[in-house]
Amino acid sequence: MLSTKFSPMSKEEVDRKWWEIGDFFRRNSLWMLMYCTGCCAIELPPAMTSAYDMERLGMGPMATPRQADVLLVTGYLSLKTLRRLIYTYEQMSEPKYIVGFGSCTINGGIYHDSHAVINQLNKYIPVDVFVAGCMPNTEAVMNGFVDLMDLIKNKKANGWKDYHERYEWYLANQKAALGEVRVHDEFHE
Ligand code: SF4
């Protein structure tokens, strides 16, 4: 006779299963908030329309940070814009992801020696995927999205966790660039 003995899963296993299910749906329906700061943003229309049709991947635009999964930063960032970007990122629900477009987000690009432009975005907020190039072509952008989906699948898109764990480091960099960074919301209080 077959055994009908049932061994229940531990709480950790149940949590892990739920996260796997959640990650499956999340990576197949990524909603993007487009923070179009620089010229790399011009690659988004072909990515979104019939040429590359990113909706095939379940990706689509979202109007507000609180409903978005992915923050797209499409190029250079002035100090003035960085402050708004940090506020926007911190309003997003977790888990959340950042994709940085172009050399400007990696090392400042052609503006690397400007007094008003930051050089390395991931000193201030955690970037999960960089798409290299100036500007990156649409294939590279689409590849960046597929890379992000793979990272989520393999539990490696952990920038949002890093932001919690090393918040003091991020905050110190933010303050060094901007002076006081004062936000009153549930993330900080
Ligand atoms: S990487 Fe090049 S194309 Fe992109 S925002 Fe910077 S200067 Fe513009």
Mean pLDDT for the stretch of residues 55-69: 93
Distance from the alpha carbon of residue 109 to the mean position of ligand 1, in angstroms: 7
Q: What is the pTM of this model?
A: 0.89
74/126 Cα distance (integer angstroms):
15
**Could you read off the pLDDT of 136-189 as tens digits, one per residue?**
999 999 999 999 999 999 999 999 999 999 999 999 999 999 887 766 555 555
* Ligand 1 atom 4: residue of nearest CA: 40
**Does 7 fall in a domain?**
no
Q: Which of 78, 101, 131 should be mutated for ligand 1, with most atoms under 8 A from CB?
A: 101
**39 within a domain of the structure (yes/no):** yes
Position 9 in a domain: no
User: CA–CA separation, 117 vs 66, rounded Å?
Assistant: 27
Nearest residue (by CA) to ligand 1, atom 3, is: 135
Ligand 1: residue of 99, 135, 141 to mutate (most ligand atoms within 8 A of CB) is 135
Has residue 21 been placed in a domain? no
In a domain? residue 188: no
Q: Give the pLDDT score at 184.
A: 57
The CATH number of residue 138's host domain is 3.40.50.12280
Distance, CA of 159 to CA of 129 (rounded, Å):
10
pLDDT digits 0-9 by tens, 7-42: 788 888 999 999 999 999 999 999 999 999 899 999
Which of 74, 103, 141 has the most ligand 1 atoms within 8 A of CB, as the residue to mutate?
103
pLDDT number for residue 175: 92
String of DSSP letters for the chain = -------PPPHHHHHHHHHHHHHHHHHTS-EEEEE--SGGGGGHHHHHSTTT-GGGGT-EE-SSGGG-SEEEE-S--BHHHHHHHHHHHHHSPSS-EEEEEHHHHHH-GGGTT-TTB-S-GGGTS--SEEE-SSSPPHHHHHHHHHHHHHHHHTT---HHHHHHHTHHHHHHHHHHHHS-----STTT-
Residue 67: give the domain boundaries: 31-53+62-178
pLDDT attached to residue 179 = 85
Q: Which residues does a 6 A CB cutoff place in the pocket of ligand 1?
A: 38-40, 75-76, 102-104, 109-110, 134-135
Nearest residue (CA) to ligand 1, atom 8: 39
134 found inside a domain: yes
Does a structural domain hold residue 112? yes
Domain membership of residue 10 (yes or no) is no
How many domains, the chain? 1
| 170 CB burial (10 A radius; 0-12, 13-18, 19+) | buried
